[in-house]
């Protein structure tokens, strides 16, 4: 059974695709076939979430599930699963309208390569529909990023990601750069400088 919607951290998470332009060393999907919802504070009390899809969802597939949920129990709708959500940005945009009509904020956890994946600039649209744009910085230079993330875009991926984050800041988006705490301390300091220089916030996230 496909898991399109799951709940952890007091948020609703939306799993739209398994496509990703990165193959990050630390990504949970490379090490676990399922995610333990209990470990991450699932409101539903369910156990494992199998986020591998044999079919990507339609708008109706997702909203049929969401229609049965009590939104007052959750803080955000987060676009994040076992794939890069911006690859299905048209659907993300539609679901943001759905969320905002019901008074819930939206966040996307993205690798920042959506422009390259889709072949068009989605930054202005993303800033209009997403309340928090969390861009995975992951490293502080192109070579380190390539070694860690193994993007289909090679060493160009770092600049693709950072340029996207900068564009979102210029468009007025609430941009957060994130980096995993498995990197050396000097990279964490450099990451803070990068975030400050482009006008974004920085979040250091624990490796799952």
Distance CA 72, CA 77 (A): 12
The residue that leads in pLDDT, 30 or 94, is: 94
Helices (H), the chain: 59-66, 89-101, 114-118, 123-129, 142-149, 156-170, 185-198
CA distance 82 to 51: 6
Collapsing DSSP states into helix, strand and coil, what is residue 84?
Answer: coil
Summarised one tens digit per residue, pLDDT across range 51-93 is 999 999 999 999 999 999 999 999 999 999 999 999 999 999 9
User: Coil, helix or strand for 35?
Assistant: strand
**What pLDDT does residue 200 have?**
99
Strands 5-8 and 11-14 turn out to be antiparallel
Contact 130, 94 (CB under 8 A): no
Residue-wise pLDDT for 182-194, tens only, equals 788 898 999 999 9
Q: Which of 163, 72, 81, 171 is nearest to 129 (CA)?
A: 171
CB 22 within 8 A of CB 113: yes
Q: In the chain, pLDDT over 70 holds for what percent of residues?
A: 91
User: What pTM, to 2 d.p., does this model score?
Assistant: 0.92
* Closest alpha carbon to 86 in 101, 67, 107, 104: 107
Hey, what domains does the chain have and what are their CATH numbers? 5-205 (3.20.20.70)
């Amino acid at each position: 059974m496909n898991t399109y919607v799951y709940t952890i951290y007091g948020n609703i998470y939306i799993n739209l695709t398994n496509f990703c332009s990165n193959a990050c060393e630390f990504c949970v999907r490379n090490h676990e076939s399922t995610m333990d919802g209990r470990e991450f504070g699932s409101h539903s009390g369910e156990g494992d979430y199998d986020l591998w899809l044999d079919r990507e969802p339609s708008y109706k597939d997702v909203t049929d599930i969401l229609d049965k949920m009590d939104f007052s129990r959750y803080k955000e709708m987060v676009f994040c699963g076992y794939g890069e959500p911006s690859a299905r940005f048209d659907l993300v945009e539609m679901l943001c309208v759905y969320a905002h009509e019901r008074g819930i904020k939206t966040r996307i956890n993205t690798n920042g390569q959506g422009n390259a994946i889709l072949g068009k600039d989605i930054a202005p649209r993303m800033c209009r529909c997403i309340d928090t744009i969390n861009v995975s910085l992951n490293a502080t230079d192109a070579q380190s990023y390539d070694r860690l993330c193994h993007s289909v875009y090679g060493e160009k991926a770092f600049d693709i990601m950072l340029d996207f984050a900068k564009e979102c800041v210029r468009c007025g988006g609430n941009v957060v750069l994130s980096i995993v705490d498995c990197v050396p301390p000097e990279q964490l300091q450099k990451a803070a400088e990068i975030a400050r220089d482009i006008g974004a916030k920085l979040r250091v996230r624990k490796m799952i």
